[in-house]
Amino acid sequence: MLHDIALYKFNIYIHIYKVAFCCSVLAGTSGRLLSRLQSVLNAAARLILSARKSDHTTLMLRELQWLRVPEQIQFRLCVLVYRCLHGTAPSYLADCLRRSADIDGRRRLRSPESNMLVIASMHRSTLGDRSFPVAASRAWNGLTASVRAATSLVSFSKELKTGSSPEEL
């Protein structure tokens, strides 16, 4: 019986991990849908840690080392951008992003030194803002220069999780 409960909790943990892994596609989703997904993650955290419904979830999420849904979306977008800029992401994603240093008119500005991306202009603000090039560029440009300048993916991820406030993620 105890083995079945542990297996059940592990199975839930794996499914929640899959949701967190693919959440970058949720960029630009309405706050209502994000709050519903957050409530599912909170319920999963309570189940995994055998907590009561009245227990506060912030400490549980921290104990499980989970980010809140909006932070997780920004985290995944930023990791994808890092991989695109360093040649470890698929080329169809990397080709969507442009550094501001690559544009002829901006080479003399300070932005080439700061590793900023050009935010593509979109005709439809509702759908265009949710596209990968726009959402990823905004998330990347919102990071501090020290986080963007990380030398490895591991150090970037660690700095991104620990060194940034939720507003910067």
> pLDDT tens-digit profile of 135-166?
888 899 999 888 988 899 999 988 888 765 44
6-23 mean pLDDT: 66
pTM score of the predicted model: 0.76
Contacts of residue 55, Cβ cutoff 8 Å, sequence gap at least 6: 46
Choice between 109 and 98, residue whose per-residue pLDDT is larger? 98
Nearest-angstrom CA–CA distance, 127 and 140: 19
Taken in order 169, 26, 8, 45, is the CA torsion positive or negative? positive
Residue 103 neighbours by CB under 8 Å, 6+ apart: 118
Q: Please report, for the chain, the start and end positions of each structural domain, with discontinuous segments joined by +.
A: 2-67, 71-162
